[in-house]
Amino acid sequence: MKPGSALPWLWLSGVVIVLDQLTKWIATDNLERFESIPVFPGLNWTLLYNFGAAFSFLNVPGGAQRWLFTGLAVVISVVLLIWLSRTPRADWRTAVPLALIVGGAIGNVIDRIRLGYVIDFIDVYYSQWHWPAFNIADSAITVAAVFLVVWGFRTAPENQQSD
């Protein structure tokens, strides 16, 4: 590990993976596929299998997309690991989102390799409109993307000179 790099932030990836797999296990152990249990208005637990990508894109059982999305997630994770290794440990505004994305990607890759699909169970809705079901891994990736955008607009530290 490169001294002073942000790789120690990978503990956060580990937390995401454990929480993701634990909640998916709880969902599959307590719900039947397509069963929907109301939690409160606007949120149900609904067990779904996503054979595609985000928002159920290419959601067709048995297609080649299983390996396409697995490979894509692995490549992205490797790129982000390299980015983390080149990021200073103190740069948490970069490290946290990257670690969240790695954890989310690996959480879903585990499902794709093990099952051939991703387990989704969080169903957010308003009136009759339902957001596509998602899981903890998807949540980590989404939160990370928002952090990268928001924190990307921050000003450079005072001790850093601009070119």
- As annotated, the active-site residues are 120, 138
What are the two backbone dihedrals, phi and then psi, of residue 127, each rounded to the nearest 5 degrees? Answer: 60, -120
Cα–Cα distance for residue pair 137/104, rounded to 1 Å: 4
Comparing CA positions, the residue from 161, 16, 160, 162 lying closest to residue 88 is 160
Is the Cβ–Cβ distance between 13 and 102 less than 8 Å?
yes
Burial class (CB in 10 A: 0-12, 13-18, 19+), 36: middle
Is the Cβ–Cβ distance between 59 and 50 less than 8 Å?
yes
